[in-house]
Chains A and B, each alone.
Chain A
Amino acid sequence: MSASVSEREKRRAAEEAGGAGPDAAARDAAARGGVDPNDERAARFIDIRGLEKTFSGDGAPVYALRGLDLAVAEGSFLGVMGQSGSGKSTFLSILGGLSHPDAGSISVDGIDLYTLPGERLADFRREYLGFVFQSFNLVPYLTALENVTLPLAVKKMPGAEKRRRALDVLEHVGLADRAGHLPGKLSGGEQERVAIARALVNEPPLILADEPTGALDSETTVEIMDVFAGLHREGITIVMVTHNPEIQRYFDRTIVLRDGRLDCELPACDIDTPL
Chain B
Amino acid sequence: MRLRTIAVNDLRRRKSRSAFLVAGLLIGVGTVVALISLTQSMTGETKANLQSFGANIVVTPRGKDVSLSYGGISVGGVAVGAQSLPETDLARIDAIPSRAAISVVSPELVGAVRVKGRRALLMGVHPAAEFKLKRWWSVDAGRPPANGHELVAGSAAARTLGLLMGDYVRIGGRRFTVTGILRETGSQDDSLLITDLRAAQDVLSQQGKVTLVQIAALYADAPVDQIVKELAAALPGAEVAAMQEAVKGRMHVVDQFRSFSYAIVGVVIAIEALVVFITMMGAVNERTHEIGVFRAIGFRRVHITRLILIEALIASVIAGVLGYLAGMGVTYAVLPLVARSAEVAWAPLLGLGAVALAVAIGALASLYPALHAGRMDPTEALRAL
Contact = CB atoms under 8 A, between A and B. Distances in A.
Interface of A: 93, 96, 98-99, 119, 122-123, 125-127, 129, 131, 133, 137, 139-142, 146, 149-154, 159, 162-163, 166, 198, 202
B299 A98 contact: no
Q: Which bucket holds chain B's interface residue count?
A: 20 to 34
A195 to B, nearest CB: 10
B216 to A, nearest CB: 66
B300 A153 contact: no
B379 A122 contact: no
Given A137-B293, A142-B6, 17 more contacts: A96-B296, A98-B382, A119-B302, A122-B301, A123-B300, A127-B298, A133-B382, A139-B6, A140-B13, A141-B10, A141-B13, A142-B9, A149-B1, A150-B6, A154-B303, A162-B1, A198-B297
B295 interface: yes
A122 B299 contact: yes
A140 B14 CA distance: 11
B290 interface: yes
Given A93-B379, A141-B12, A146-B1, A154 B299 contact: yes
A141 B297 contact: no
Contact residues of B: prevailing secondary structure: helix
A251 to B, nearest CB: 23
A149 B2 CA distance: 9
Contact of A125 (B289, B298, B303, B379): B298
Nearest to B296: A131
CB-based closest 4 A-B pairs? A126-B298, A141-B13, A149-B1, A119-B300
Which of B1, B9, B298, B382: most chain A Cβ within 10 A?
B298
Contacts of B293: 133, 137, 139
Contact of A99 (B300, B303, B379): B379
Contacts of B297: 125-126, 131, 150-151, 198
Given A139-B290, A152-B1, A119 B13 contact: no
A152 B9 CA distance: 16
Contacts of A93: 379, 382
B86 interface: no
6 contacts: A98-B378, A98-B382, A127-B298, A146-B9, A153-B303, A198-B297
Contacts of B10: 141
B1 A141 contact: no
Contacts of B244: none
B339 interface: no
A129 B3 CA distance: 21
B5 to A, nearest CB: 7
A98 B13 contact: no
A103 B229 CA distance: 83
A211 B77 CA distance: 111
Contact of B9 (A127, A133, A141, A162): A141
B301 A119 contact: yes
A7 B326 CA distance: 56
Contacts of A98: 295-296, 378-379, 382
Contacts of A129: 298
Contact of A159 (B1, B295, B302): B1
A81 B188 CA distance: 108
A137 B1 CA distance: 18
A153 B2 contact: yes
Nearest to A142: B9
Interface in B1-37: 1-3, 5-6, 9-10, 12-14
A4 to B, nearest CB: 16
A179 to B, nearest CB: 12
A116 B166 CA distance: 108
B42 to A, nearest CB: 47
A123 B297 CA distance: 9
B67 to A, nearest CB: 89
A48 B13 CA distance: 42
Nearest to A208: B296
Contacts of B1: 146, 149-150, 152-153, 159, 162-163, 166
A207 to B, nearest CB: 12
Contacts of A198: 297
Contacts of B13: 140-141
Among A98, A127, A159: residue with most chain B CB under 10 A: A98
A123 B289 CA distance: 20
A152 B6 CA distance: 12
Interface string B291-333: 0011111111111000000000000000000000000000000
A39 B192 CA distance: 119
Contacts of B2: 153, 159
B300 A122 contact: yes
A159 B3 CA distance: 12
A125 B5 contact: no
A146 to B, nearest CB: 6
Contacts of A150: 1, 6, 294, 297
Contacts of B5: 146, 153
Contacts of B3: 153-154
Contact of B295 (A122, A127, A139, A202): A122
Contacts of B382: 93, 98, 133, 137
Contacts of B9: 141-142, 146
B272 to A, nearest CB: 27
Contacts of B296: 96, 98, 125, 131, 133
